[in-house]
Amino acid sequence: MLVFILGLYMTIVKGNLIKKVIGLNLAQTGVYTFFILTAKVNESTAPVYIGDEVRYANPLPQVLILTAIVVGISLTAFALGLVIRIYQAYGTIEESELSRLVQANREAQPSTLTPSSSGGEG
Amino acid sequence: MLAEHLPILHVLIPLVGAIVLLTGGVLRPLREVAWGLTMLVVLASAVSAFQLIPRVLSEGRISYALGNWKPPYGIEYAVDSLSLLLILLITSLTVIITLYTRHSIQRDITPNQQPYFYSAYLLFVGGLLGMVTTADIFNLYVFLEIASLSGYALIAIGRRREALLASYNYLMIGTIASTLFLLGIGYLYMITGTLNMQDLQARLEELYGSRTLLVGMAFITLGLSVKMALFPLHTWLPNAYTYAPDAITALMASLTTKVGVYTAFRVFFGVLKPSFLSQVVPLEEIFMLLGALAILGGSLMAIFQNNLKRMLAYSSVAQIGYIVLGLAMLNVSGMMGGLIHIVNHAVVKAGLFLAVGNIIYRTGLEEVDDLNQIAQQMPKTMLAFTVCALALIGVPLTAGFVTKWYLVLGSIEAGRWFLVPVIVVGALLAAVYLWRIIERAYFWSRKGGALTPPAPLSASREGGELGSPSPFTERGQGGEVNPDPPSPTLLPNSEQESQSPPAPKTSEVPLSMLIPTLVMAVLSLALGIFAVLPLNLAERIAKSLLGAE
């Protein structure tokens, strides 16, 4: 939970877009560990069949989180790709500068971005 | 054999299509047919969805065990009448909008990238369909992420570079929302040990006092509220809608938030029971308040927007308010209003965005102020726009009227009289911001000066509105409503002939863009006139959702 809140804090406070992505990752990791912890059974082992009757941890949350991690990876990949494109378009990835640029842009004539080479396809 | 897999086919077809397009995009010949293939896929998906109608109507809930694992343990797919409504809505709207993408998207991306675009497009549709079909709450999260991720990608394709920032902000907010949703699922799983929604509903009933459940539900509600852009959490929406490609805006505006609302319906009535809302937590009141705020706030902000798409985006925020209001009333009429509004608003808003897309495609104008006399240039588009606008306002005989009627009925039944003026004022505000466009498009001269009412800008806006609170006469015979009739040579033929000498010749958009727009307009009329069919379905759903009480 602490990790989750830390990550959340980071996404809000940090001005650098990449650092925000890192924060997002942290937040997600917090949720993953939370899920994994719910699977813990006291004095249990890994859910591997070894012949005897043993207590074992609930494997289901781990499987779920595997899926969630995959989701997280694709999200991160896409977010980073997007940051690269933002950098190409604006020349900066600092939020304060970006909003300044956007503001200046709004006052001037809205410029159009020509469809450039790499479309984001997730 | 295929028939027994029907409940999942409409989800699988777009997903498989997406993969084919993605991998096949390397091959040159496939680039040429990308659009055709997408159309085929979407059509197939729609056909399989329509096959579901008779079965669901006769048998009720159809359950499908994925991979043949029995429901409480394996992932279950289920189609009941609520999912059916959404599935039909999504598949048929997608078919229409896919038709539209063919020409409209060419300005945004090069032909080489089209397979990838359509791949993301199909993933998006598949994700949405998956969300409304699955009966497993974790699976719902996964589909939510599929749909959101491809949604971010689709927004980033937009022409302007602001689209990238809009997409990035949406990604940040959206991901935090879905992470919260996931966390909430974690809490629910912790106390029940199950993820199947029916199973959850049965097991949770004894646990309504539990603090863990409360925390979990708080996270889920928060996450969902962001996803459906409920009023204070709507900030991602206007930018995302404004900068996305036009066809995508239409698709997202009509479907993304609706599916978010569907998920809320599912969670509150499929996982919890209505009694939870009314007894344990006053969530009902909170939602009602937020819905009312959304209607007023969204509409007010829409009035002050000058960018066409941004204005419609804020209007979407307001319309979500109506749906949530219907949900929160917890009685059959209100619920019916909310449910039908999901369908109606999807159709109407798609029509509006498509019409705006047409205008932008042909003229490049995005500001309300530039639209003078646009009706002369594009009469059919503006006709469609006008019809959809009327439907959004809620003029009788159009789709919007049915919804508002039931919402008003619902709020009276629920004993909440203060909501009636909110609904009516919301409609009036909608009339204000839409009338601005219609007035300019039909009555103002090209040179920017006011042709019809020689009053200053703001005054004419107010006067045009307050003078005639039900502006449903401007099509063709609008002259008689306006205080100062415009020169009659301009108006009558602005609709059909449009060859009037002062204006340039009509330059409508390609047929593939015009037809979907007109279809939407016709639909929004049809949904108002023949409202019985959706009403019956909605009544069934509302009763079955509330029946557990």
SS3 per-residue string spanning B341-393: HHHHHHHHHHHHHHHHHHHHHHHCCCEHHHHCCHHHHCHHHHHHHHHHHHHHH
**How many domains does the structure of chain A reveal?**
1
- Give how far Cα B357 sits from Cα of B42, B246, B308, B376, B517, Å: 21, 5, 10, 17, 9
- Give how far Cα B153 sits from Cα of B147, B234, B357, Å: 10, 19, 19
Helix ranges (DSSP H) in chain A: 2-13, 17-38, 59-90, 95-107
Under the banding of pLDDT at 50, 70 and 90, the label for residue B465 is very low
Instruction: Say yes or no to pLDDT of B431 above 60.
Output: yes
Higher local confidence (pLDDT), B48 or A76: A76
φ, ψ for residue B484 (rounded to 5)? -125, 95
Q: Is residue A53 part of a domain?
A: yes
* CA-based radius of gyration for chain B: 23
Higher local confidence (pLDDT), B317 or B75: B317
Residue spans per domain, chain B = 282-549
Identity of the residue numbered B157: I
- Give how far Cα A5 sits from Cα of A29, A118, B122, B180, Å: 11, 34, 34, 11
Residues facing B76 on adjacent strands: B65
Q: Token pair 């015979």 is at which residue?
A: B477
Q: Which of B117, B138, B179 sits opposite A121 (nearest CB)?
A: B117
**Residue of B514, B379, B391, B395 whose CA lies nearest to B102:** B514
Higher local confidence (pLDDT), B29 or B336: B336
Q: What is the dihedral of CA B311, B312, B313, B318, to 10 degrees?
A: 100
Q: What is the pLDDT of residues B249-275, one digit of tens each?
A: 888 888 888 888 888 888 887 777 766
- pLDDT at position B297 is 83
Chain A residues interacting with chain B (CB cutoff of 8 angstroms)? 4, 8, 11, 17, 20, 24, 27-28, 31, 34-35, 38, 61, 64, 67-68, 71, 74-75, 78-79, 82-83, 85-86, 89-90, 98, 102, 105, 110-113, 115, 119-122
Give the tokens for residue A112.
Answer: 């159009």
Contact assignment for A31 to B186 by CB distance below 8 Å:
yes
Identity of the residue numbered B64: Y
What is the distance between the alpha carbons of residues B309 and B360, in angstroms, rounded to a whole number? 10
Give the tokens for residue B174.
Answer: 């959206």
Q: Which of B119, B149, B162 sits opposite A78 (nearest CB)?
A: B149
Q: What is the pLDDT of residues B487-501, one digit of tens each?
A: 333 333 333 333 333
Q: Token pair 């949770």 is at which residue?
A: B204
Sign of torsion over alpha carbons B266, B256, B11, B97: positive
- Residue pairs between chains A and B whose CB atoms are closer than 8 Å: 107
- pLDDT at position B453 is 41
What is the distance between the alpha carbons of residues B426 and B319, in angstroms, rounded to a whole number? 9
- Spatial neighbors of B22 by CB under 8 A, at least 6 apart, are A121, B115, B116, B119
Q: Which of B110, B163, B189 sits opposite A38 (nearest CB)?
A: B189
Question: Count of CB atoms within 10 A of residue B415's CB?
Answer: 9
Establish if B169 touches chain A: CB-CB under 8 angstroms.
no
**Residue of B301, B196, B43 whose CA lies nearest to B51:** B43
Q: How far is CA B495 from the centre of its chain?
A: 28
**Residue of B326, B116, B315, B121 whose CA lies nearest to B229:** B315
Q: Token pair 């240039």 is at which residue?
A: B377
Task: Give percent above pLDDT 90 in chain B.
Answer: 0
| Least confident span in A10-19, A72-81, B431-440, B477-486 | B477-486
Mean pLDDT of B137-150: 87
Instruction: Say yes or no to pLDDT of B25 above 70.
Output: no
Q: Is residue A114 part of a domain?
A: no
Mean pLDDT of B233-255: 80
Give the tokens for residue A95.
Answer: 């939020």
What is the distance between the alpha carbons of residues B463 and B410, in angstroms, rounded to a whole number? 32
Question: Count of CB atoms within 10 A of residue B154's CB?
Answer: 28
Give the tokens for residue B404.
Answer: 């508002």
**Residue of B262, B280, B306 whose CA lies nearest to B217:** B280
Domain that holds residue A82: 2-100
| Least confident span in A8-17, B139-148, B515-524 | A8-17
Q: Is residue A17 part of a domain?
A: yes
Which chain B positions have a beta carbon within 8 Å of A98's beta carbon? 165
Instruction: Say yes or no to pLDDT of B29 above 70.
Output: no
In the DSSP assignment, the letter for residue B196 is B
Mean pLDDT of B39-45: 81
- pLDDT at position B484 is 39
Q: What is the pLDDT along chain A (122 residues), one digit of tens a residue?
A: 666 677 666 666 667 778 888 888 888 888 888 887 776 666 666 666 666 666 666 777 778 888 888 888 888 888 888 888 888 887 777 777 777 777 776 665 444 443 333 333 33
Let me know: does B443 contact B351? Beta carbons within 8 Å.
no
Residues 142-161 of B with CB under 8 A from A: 142, 145, 149-150, 152-153, 156-157, 159-161
Secondary structure element (H or E) that encloses residue B77, with its range:
strand B76-79
φ, ψ for residue B469 (rounded to 5)? -65, -20
Instruction: Say yes or no to pLDDT of B38 above 50.
Output: yes
Compute the C-alpha angle B501/B308/B439, nearest 5°.
Answer: 45
Q: What is the pLDDT of residues B81-90, one digit of tens each?
A: 788 888 888 8
Instruction: Say yes or no to pLDDT of B131 above 60.
Output: yes
Q: Which of A8, A67, A82 sits opposite B142 (nearest CB)?
A: A67
Residue A74 sits in a domain whose CATH number is: 1.10.287.3510
* ipTM of the modeled complex: 0.77
- pLDDT at position A49 is 64
What is the distance between the alpha carbons of residues B439 and B30, in angstroms, rounded to a whole number? 45
- pLDDT at position B506 is 58
Q: Is residue A33 part of a domain?
A: yes
Secondary structure element (H or E) that encloses residue B62, with its range:
strand B62-65
